[in-house]
Amino acid sequence: MEERSYNQNCALAHALDVIGERWSLVLIRELLIGPRRYKDLMDGLAGIGNNLLASRLKELELANIVERTILPPPAGSAVYKLTSLGRSLESAVQELIKWGFQLNNKGQPENLSRPEWDIVAMRSLFQPDAAKGKNGACQFQVEDVFYYVVINNGRVEIELGEIRCPDAIVTTDRKTLAKLGKGMDVNTAINNNHLQITGSVLKFSEMLALFKPGD
């Protein structure tokens, strides 16, 4: 809580004074997925150490980036969520994600992997210009995580949960999804039993093409 600061009159330094500490941006990524309980955060950040999570949350609450709320009954549990100031960090996070895709991410197999992270990543890779006039809805089940992608004339919405009547229901694993994003053929993945699609395969392929690492 000692407010370490760069002491520079520069907007970048001001930003980093608040969200530049270790784990802060990764924590914010976790909350960009949606409101999370303390336990969810511990799981999603594995490695953070209990005390650090607690103190980061406190710092970010103080900085008006995160707020703690109690869900209405019957849930009744405490969750952390982003304030509007916190949500406005998403474009910065997206740029960092786009940049991160350029790296030779060695992707060590022992690394942690969570399907939820793709939600934030896919929002970053979405190409609004290419999606003008297009629409579609796709339900994903990646490993044990359900989320959906809805494209509506150049805008995209990607959220945890399920929707009714999607154009396609897609079941796969994170690794295959990554390969598909990098250009792997959809039918090859299906034939290798790494991808199951119920509904319109064409619609899925069309939507897939709207996500690209490059600008």
Q: Rule CB under 7 A: which residues touch DNA? A: 2, 4, 21-23, 37-40, 47-52, 54-55, 57-58, 68, 77-79
Q: Report what 26 binds from a copy of itself, DNA, none; CB cut-off 5-8 Å by kind.
A: a copy of itself
| Binding partner at 110 among DNA, a copy of itself, none, C-beta below 5 to 8 Å by kind | a copy of itself
Nearest one of 126, 127, 138, 132 to 154, comparing CA atoms = 132
CA–CA separation, 194 vs 192, rounded Å? 5
Strand partners, 82: 66
Q: Whose CA is closest to 131, among 140, 122, 139?
A: 122
Choices 16-24, 133-141, 162-170, 183-191; region in contact with a copy of itself by CB under 8 A? 16-24
Stretch that binds a copy of itself, among 66-74, 93-101, 128-136, 158-166 (CB under 8 A): 93-101
Q: Is 159 helix (H, G, I), strand (E, B) or coil?
A: strand
d(CA 178, CA 74): 37
Report the half-sphere exposure of 2 (CA within 13 A, side-chain side). 2
Which helix (H) or strand (E) covers residue 122, if one does? helix 116-125
**48 vs 158 by CB, closer to DNA:** 48
Question: Which of left, alpha, beta for 77 (phi over 0: left; psi -120 to 50: alpha)?
Answer: beta
Considering CB distances under 5 to 8 angstroms, the limit depending on partner class, which of DNA, a copy of itself, none binds residue 101?
a copy of itself
Of 50-58, 115-123, 135-143, 203-211, the window that binds a copy of itself (rule: CB under 8 A) is 115-123
Q: Which positions lie near a copy of itself, rule CB under 8 A?
A: 6-16, 18, 20, 22, 25-26, 29, 47, 85, 88-89, 91-103, 105, 107-108, 110-114, 117, 120-121, 124, 174
